[in-house]
C-alpha cells in the first residue's frame, strides 16, 4: 500500500483509478462495504484502488468539538494499520485545512479526483459530501459523470438491529464501555496504541504489575472500568486485564490506563503497546483495603483467562 501525504508535486503511477473519499474514522462495516465496491470496480478495469481521506480530522480543524480529547476513534498511525488490511493500492491523506474546506465541489472534483488522481470510478457512501457547502453529493457526481466521463456508485447505509451503523453510534457504545457491541458494529476490535510510561508502580507491590499507557489526546478512550483485552507487543499477543480510571481505592485524581499482561515478564518502559478491547469485566470500584482489591483482581484475572478470544490472535 502506497501512502500519499501531499498532492502538490505528486504524479500518479497509474492511468486510471477507482476511488472513494471520506473521513473513514473507524473503518466500520459501512465503510468496508464501500471499499468492497471500489475493489469490485477496479478488478475488471484494472484500476488502481485509491482511498482519499484527511489529516487532521476535519472536526478538529473546523472547531466542531469543544475539546481535542476523544475527537477521533483512531489516530493517524492507527488508521494506517487499519487501511493495510483492506487491499488498497493507495491511501491519500489530504492535509485538511480551512482553505480545503472552502474549495468548491467542482474544483475538488476536477483538480483532485479527476486531475491529480485520475479517477474513472468514484464510490461514495449514502451521506458522503465534499466541497464548500457540502455540494459534492451523489446527485452532483451523477450530473458531472456525464460531462467528465466517469462512473459513480452510491452505497446505501448498512444497518444493524434496525439502526444505521455510523461512527457516532459506535462512539456512543465506546463511551458507555460497550466494547463488545462496538466491535460488532466496527467489524473488527476497537484498539488503542500507547507508550508505556512510569506510573505509581503500586501494581507490582501487590502482585499485578501493569503497563501505564500514555495515548494521544485526540484518542477516544472507553469509559472507566475494567476490561478483558489482548495486548500486542513485539509481534506477540497476550491476554490482559486493563483498568481505565482513577484507582479510587488509592484516591487518585488523574485518569490512567493500566494493562496487566498475563504470562508476561519484562521491562516495557518506553515501548509502544497496542490494546484490543474484547469484553467489559466490571465497573471501577472502591475497596476498603488493599487485600480486598487483590481478591477482586484475582477474580478479574480468572475472568480474563476464561474469556473468549478470536482465533486471529496468536495466544
In this predicted structure, what is the pLDDT of residue 253?
Answer: 80
Cell numbers describing residue 293: 482489591
What is the per-residue pLDDT across 184-211, written as a single tens digit (0 to 9) for each? 999 999 999 999 998 777 777 788 999 9
Helix (H) / strand (E) element for 306: namely: helix 290-306
pLDDT band at 67 (very low <50, low <70, confident <90, very high): confident
pLDDT of 248 higher than 90: no
Give me the chain's average pLDDT, please: 94
Q: Chain-centre distance of CA 114, in angstroms?
A: 28
> Averaged over 79-95, what is the pLDDT?
95
The CATH number of 181-306 is 2.40.30.30
What is the Cα 135 distance to its own chain's centre? 27
Q: How many CB atoms lie within 10 A of CB 259?
A: 26
User: Tens digits of per-residue pLDDT, 114-173?
Assistant: 999 999 999 999 999 999 999 999 999 999 999 999 999 999 999 999 999 999 999 999
Higher per-residue confidence, 212 vs 251: 212
The CA angle 281-284-288, to the nearest 5 degrees, is 120
Residue 71 confidence (pLDDT) = 92
Q: Which residue has the cell 478512550?
A: 221
| Residue 99 binned pLDDT confidence (cut-offs 50, 70, 90) | very high
> How many CB atoms neighbour CB 75 within 10 A?
21
Task: Check residue 247 and give its pLDDT.
Answer: 83
pLDDT of res. 173: 98
Percent of the chain with pLDDT over 90: 85
Superfamily grouping for domain 2-157: HUPs (3.40.50.620)
> Domain extents for the chain?
2-157, 181-306
- Please give the distance of CA 241 from its chain centroid, rounded to a whole number: 21
Mean pLDDT of the region 290-315: 94
pLDDT reading at 241 higher than 90: yes
pLDDT band at 254 (very low <50, low <70, confident <90, very high): confident
Q: Please give the pLDDT value at position 199.
A: 79
In the beta sheet, which residues pair with residue 24? none
For the chain, what percent of residues have pLDDT higher than 70?
A: 100
Domains 2-157 and 181-306 share a fold: no
pLDDT at 65: 83
Indicate whether 183 pLDDT > 90: yes
| Residue that is written with C-alpha cell 465503510 in the block | 31
Could you report the per-residue pLDDT of 205-229, keeping only the tens digit for each? 788 999 999 999 999 999 999 999 9
pLDDT of amino acid 190: 98
Amino acid at each position: 500500500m502506497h501512502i500519499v501525504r501531499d498532492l502538490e508535486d505528486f504524479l500518479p503511477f497509474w492511468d486510471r483509478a477507482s476511488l472513494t473519499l471520506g473521513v473513514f474514522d473507524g473503518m466500520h462495516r459501512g465503510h468496508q462495504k464501500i471499499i468492497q465496491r471500489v475493489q469490485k470496480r477496479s478488478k475488471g478495469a484494472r484500476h488502481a484502488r485509491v482511498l482519499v481521506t484527511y489529516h487532521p480530522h476535519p472536526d478538529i480543524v473546523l472547531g466542531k468539538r469543544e475539546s481535542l480529547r476523544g475527537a477521533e476513534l483512531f489516530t493517524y498511525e492507527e488508521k494506517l494499520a487499519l487501511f493495510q488490511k483492506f487491499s488498497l493500492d493507495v491511501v491519500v491523506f489530504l492535509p485538511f485545512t480551512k482553505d480545503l474546506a472552502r474549495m468548491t465541489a467542482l474544483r475538488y472534483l476536477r483538480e483532485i479526483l479527476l486531475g491529480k488522481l485520475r479517477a474513472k470510478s468514484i464510490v461514495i457512501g449514502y451521506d458522503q459530501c465534499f466541497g464548500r457547502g457540502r455540494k459534492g453529493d451523489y446527485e452532483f457526481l451523477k450530473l458531472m459523470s456525464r460531462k467528465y466521463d466517469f462512473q459513480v456508485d452510491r452505497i446505501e447505509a448498512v444497518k444493524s438491529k434496525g439502526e444505521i451503523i455510523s461512527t457516532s453510534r459506535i462512539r456512543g457504545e465506546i463511551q458507555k464501555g460497550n466494547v463488545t457491541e462496538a466491535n460488532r458494529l466496527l467489524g473488527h476490535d476497537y484498539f488503542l496504541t500507547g507508550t508505556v510510561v512510569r506510573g505509581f508502580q503500586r501494581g507490582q507491590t501487590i502482585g499485578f504489575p501493569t503497563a501505564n499507557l500514555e495515548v494521544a489526546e485526540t484518542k477516544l478512550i472507553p469509559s472507566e472500568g475494567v476490561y478483558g483485552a489482548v495486548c500486542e507487543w513485539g509481534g506477540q499477543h497476550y491476554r490482559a486485564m486493563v483498568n481505565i480510571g482513577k484507582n479510587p481505592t488509592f484516591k487518585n485524581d488523574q485518569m490512567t490506563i493500566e494493562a496487566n499482561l498475563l504470562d508476561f515478564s519484562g521491562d516495557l518502559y518506553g515501548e509502544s503497546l497496542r490494546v484490543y478491547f474484547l469484553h467489559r469485566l466490571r465497573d471501577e470500584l472502591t475497596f476498603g483495603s488493599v487485600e480486598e482489591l487483590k481478591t477482586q483482581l484475582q477474580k478479574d484475572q480468572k475472568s480474563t483467562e476464561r474469556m473468549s478470544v478470536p482465533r486471529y490472535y496468536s495466544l
